[in-house]
Amino acid sequence: MFPVGGVSIRSMRIIRQVRQTSFFWTGITASGLAVLGLTLLSCGTATTAAPAPDAAAAGPGAPQRTQARTAADALTAYADQLVAAEKQRLAAAKSWGLARAPLRPPAPPAEKPELTAEPGHIGGEGLPPVITRVPTDDKVVFLTIDDGAHKDPKLLEMLRELDIPVSAFLSDYVARDDYDYFRAARDDGWGIHNHTVNHRELPALSAAGQKKEICAQQDTLEEEMGERPTLFRPPYGAYDRDTLRAAASCGVEVVPLWAEEAFPDRIEWGREDEKLHPGDIILTHFRGEKEWKGTMPDMIRRVVNTATAQGFAIARLEDYL
């Protein structure tokens, strides 16, 4: 009745159902789910099995059979949850007008890649590396949103329902009127990072002026979000060596720029082939219809449809940096 690993026939049928949905792209296999079911058991989270009979009365092998049933029950319950969640996500993709459900990213790397400044960018010992893409072979890209001016509740709703990760780079002068919005985003799993206090072009400032713009925003975000950012993006992508020194002095570890920029009506490509590449960082902004030919959900729709059509999933930047 119980195959190897204590996985029941019903559990295996549910796992096959999971793999036939778009959840296939997670890279989770039946054996992986079985391991997870056993892990749930070892953590004491599998509680659906009946109490074990007395081992002596039940005869040899009773403890093993009971453990197998308990693991199978835990696995079945977890697989049921996965199926239900994916059905909701597929329905959300349809309701938001996507051509297809967004692809699921693979599991994040066990070890984060070693970063160095990309060619053409300033680097050096003690300076945070400046990058436009993450070194990875995974077919993933990363969505980042700058400044914080337009706070569209529909954006939070859409990303939550589609389970799409985002990293925000906030400037205090436009974010400060509603940090609650970004706390809600953080609670949804967004990364919240530094884009200076006043969005000044940093190389035009003195070294002390640059440090104030960067480090004061580090302090503000730590106070408002409960965590000190490790990522920093200079306004307009403009920086010099003093910028990097200032950023390093107050805890910045990486300076992610971008390879593409997204709008509701188009994507501006950084390469002539007009294609996404593994690890690309996509830039967009918190904007509304007054500034754009569309809304924030329109922009997300364009990014997701483009990525999905090219076989890319949107992954969480912080899982790779």
Output 251 or 66, whichever has higher pLDDT.
251
Residue 47 confidence (pLDDT): 40
The per-residue pLDDT for 52 is 46
Quote the mean pLDDT of the chain.
85
Task: Give the per-residue pLDDT at 69.
Answer: 77
Q: At a CB cut-off of 8 Å and minimum separation 6, what does 321 contact?
A: 112, 115, 134, 230, 231, 253, 254, 256
Q: For residues 35-39, give the mean pLDDT.
A: 43
Provide the 10 A C-beta neighbour count for residue 69: 19
Query: Tokens 């459900």 appear where?
Result: 101
What pLDDT is attached to residue 23? 40
pLDDT value of residue 62? 67
Residue 209, both tokens: 């002026």
Tell me the three state secondary structure of residue 297: helix
Fold of 130-319: TIM Barrel (3.20.20)
Strand ranges (E), the chain: 130-131, 140-147, 167-170, 191-194, 255-256, 260-262, 267-269, 281-285, 313-315
Q: What is the tens place of the pLDDT at every residue in 93-142?
A: 999 999 999 999 999 999 998 999 999 999 999 999 999 999 999 999 99
Letter for the amino acid at 43?
Answer: C
Which pLDDT does position 70 carry in this prediction? 81
Alpha helix ranges (H) inside 115-206: 153-162, 172-175, 179-187
Q: What is the pLDDT of residue 30?
A: 38
Query: Whole-angstrom Cα distance, residue 151 to residue 134?
Result: 28
The DSSP bridge partners found for residue 141 are: 314
User: Where exactly are the structural domains of the chain?
Assistant: 9-95, 130-319
Q: Which two tokens stand for residue 10?
A: 């019903």
Nearest one of 143, 166, 145, 138 to 279, comparing CA atoms: 138
pLDDT at 17 over 70: no
Check residues 256 and 24 and name the one with the higher pLDDT: 256
For residue 262, list its beta bridge partners: 267
